[in-house]
Amino acid sequence: MSAKIAVFRKEHFNAAHRLHNPHWDDATNKAIFGKCNNPHYHGHNYELIVKVIGEINPETGYVMDMKVLSDIIQQHIIERFDHRNLNEDCAAFKNLNPTAENIAVVIYDILRKEINQNLDLQIRLYETERNFVEYPALSQNF
Ligand code: NI
């Protein structure tokens, strides 16, 4: 078995959200989420990095065809989230607070179904240049 290698595809989407817990009163929501609780929403330029890990296919020299990976991300993530209000427009966040953490898990779950199960997958999502999340956090395969 040859060593595994990681390939990455970087994509971008703009989306609006509001962080809010409907089980809390307004003061608690404001105290916990601050500006991100603004009832009129606010936007982020999300930077998405999809990491795919696997062995190099000896016939293609690829882990995965990056055009195929790019098309999957476009079709299943960018078209779904870009220029949307995540809370209002996206079923995944109807009852799920659209934090960077939750968005990354949702993206992972969508992409996991589209990418060959022999390949490992990890999502990194930048909400700002300085704030970003990674999911899964750790994997014994990486
Ligand atoms: Ni925000």
CA 38–ligand 1 middle distance (angstroms): 9
* Domains of the chain by start residue, with CATH: 4-135 (3.30.479.10)
- The residues facing 51 across adjacent strands are 8, 122
pLDDT tens per residue across all 142 residues of the chain:
679 999 999 999 999 999 999 999 999 999 999 999 999 999 999 999 999 999 999 999 999 999 999 999 999 999 999 999 999 999 999 999 999 999 999 999 999 999 999 999 999 999 999 999 999 997 655 5
Q: How far is the CA of 17 from the centre of ligand 1 (A)?
A: 6
CB 115 within 8 A of CB 53: no
Cβ neighbours, 10 Å, residue 61: 7
CA of 135 to the centre of ligand 1 (A): 19
* Residues that are catalytic: 36, 83, 127
Cβ-based neighbour number of residue 56 at 10 Å: 14
Place of tokens 């078209």: 79
Cα angle: 113, vertex 71, 121; to 5 degrees: 40
Cα separation of 28 and 25, whole Å?
A: 5
